[in-house]
Structure 1
Amino acid sequence: MPPACEFPSNAVTAAVILAAGASKRLGRPKQLLPYGDGVLLDAVLATARRCGFAQTVLALGGSAREVLGAVDTTGCEVALNPDYGQGCSSSIAAAIAVLRPDTEAVVLLLGDQPGIRAASVAPLLRALAGPDGPGAAVCRYDDGPGHPLAFSRRLFPDLASLHGDKAVWKLLEQRAEDVIKVPTPGNVPLDVDTEDDYRRVLAELQGAG
């Protein structure tokens, strides 16, 4: 079966899945919350696999041992982030460090956002294509911007030097003239930080079933 999202030309693309958080607000590893036939992180990994990326990097930190013992990470390169308490930017930097040297674009996926669709990825990469393409592409949902986010190679150094938890959004603001917003159907997929978030995610899954 061909990948769900056909990439432009022969571009070497990578997924970075950010799943290193300590789940402090939830009080238990959100990566391992039951979801569908598996756990939350399984759903995100399944989406990445459907896309057929040349490389998939899974950034882990908090609860890394438990996650590796419970989740099938076949096909992923694991980037362990000992500084995960410093925010998502530290996980992005850990993942960028292990990308293949010929990688032309990277797509950031959140490990606690199981509703992200594989079909949302290809339009982002098409938007980056070409020598004069933008440095970044962002999904523009009906209710605002959201993940996944895609970055061309020329912004990799900026990604690697980020600091803090919301730094990637600050980078997009700073580089606004070099960012394209790609119309994406529906609302921003729910992510899980609290028990209420988890209940909403499960309710959405049941409603779609």
Structure 2
Amino acid sequence: MPALPEPPPAPAMTAGVILAAGASRRLGRPKQLLPYGGGVLLDAVLATARECGFDQTVVALGGSAAEVQRTVDTAGAEVVLNPDFGAGCSSSIAAAMAGLHPETDAVVLLLGDQPGVRAATVRAVLAALGGQPAETPRRAGIAVCHYDDGIGHPLAFARRFFPELSALHGDKAVWKLLEQRADDVVEVAMPGAVPLDVDTEEDYRRILAELEGPR
């Protein structure tokens, strides 16, 4: 009797975490609320998250949280407040991770001030977690984007790295985690430069110019 075909794998449960808790100290005004397109900066990132089809989307807010919640349509996303946002980005990751569905298989980190990331890019890093290059004995647990000018977001993490993500401390700790777990990282080639994020007025002007396109 011929063997029955293997059943297809169960669909993985994915979550998107939008890090939007910064105090915008260098900019001097809430960057989440900077006018962008038909809304504000955070609106654009949320629109990308909705297009990704995540099973769960979590938005971490901190600086200017009340104003952001009054202004931004967060429908379909869960908002977590990070009272320790001044301690760096890792505190927002930890706050968001605590709110994930317990059966989540993979999480993607998105920056709330980086509207140039596309849903297709997110899907590519998630797909990379399921790949298994011949030279590695185990599946990649972390997927990052390798743009023409370097490594950047979005970053995807398999479930086995959730405890380490939740325990990070400091503003650049996620990058240190990538260094420490280099054997588990797969780089996904992406055309173009790392999408711009906003820290200064000059950054904002560049993002607006990019949105308008060549004249």
Code of the residue aligned with 1:197 in structure 2: it is: D
Instruction: Describe how 1:126-141 pairs up with structure 2 within 5 A.
Output: 126-129=127-130, 132-141=138-147
Match of 2:201 among 195, 199, 202: 195
- Aligned equivalents of 2:113, 2:52: Cα separation in 1: 18
Report if the CA contact (8 A) 1:13-1:55 is conserved: yes
- Aligned equivalents of 1:208, 1:104: Cα separation in 2: 40
Q: CA deviation at 1:93?
A: 0.2
Q: CA deviation at 1:134?
A: 1.1
Of 129-138 and 72-81, deviating more is 129-138
SS in 1 for 2:198: coil
SS in 1 for 2:176: helix
> 1:15 aligns to what?
16
SS in 1 for 2:32: helix
Instruction: Describe how 1:108-119 pairs up with structure 2 within 5 A.
Output: 108-119=109-120
SS in 2 for 1:91: helix
> 2:188 aligns to what?
182
Aligned residues: 202
> 2:135 aligns to what?
none
SS in 1 for 2:191: coil
> 1:125 aligns to what?
126
Instruction: Describe how 1:64-143 pairs up with structure 2 within 5 A.
Output: 64-129=65-130, 132-143=138-149
- Aligned equivalents of 2:172, 2:166: Cα separation in 1: 14
Report if the CA contact (8 A) 1:127-1:133 is conserved: no
> 1:158 aligns to what?
164
- Aligned equivalents of 2:82, 2:108: Cα separation in 1: 18
- Residue-by-residue CA offset, 1:22-76 (whole Å, 9 max, x unaligned): 0000000000000000000000000000000000000000000000000000001
Of 122-131 and 112-121, deviating more is 122-131
- Aligned equivalents of 1:68, 1:17: Cα separation in 2: 14
Instruction: Please give the TM-score of this superposition, normalised by the length of structure 1.
Output: 0.94
- Aligned equivalents of 2:150, 2:120: Cα separation in 1: 18
Code of the residue aligned with 2:208 in structure 1: it is: L
- Aligned equivalents of 1:71, 1:126: Cα separation in 2: 30
- Aligned equivalents of 2:213, 2:128: Cα separation in 1: 32
- Residue-by-residue CA offset, 1:126-161 (whole Å, 9 max, x unaligned): 111169321100000011100000000000000000
- Aligned equivalents of 2:131, 2:77: Cα separation in 1: 27
Does residue 51 of structure 2 align to residue 45 of structure 1? no
Unaligned runs of 5+ in 1: 1-7
Code of the residue aligned with 2:61 in structure 1: it is: L
Q: Structure 1 segments of 4 or more deviating over 2 A? A: none
- Residue-by-residue CA offset, 1:90-129 (whole Å, 9 max, x unaligned): 0000000010000000000000001011110111111111
SS in 2 for 1:43: helix
Instruction: Please give the TM-score of this superposition, normalised by the length of structure 2.
Output: 0.91
- Aligned equivalents of 1:53, 1:195: Cα separation in 2: 32
Q: CA deviation at 1:13?
A: 0.1
Unaligned runs of 5+ in 2: 1-8, 133-137
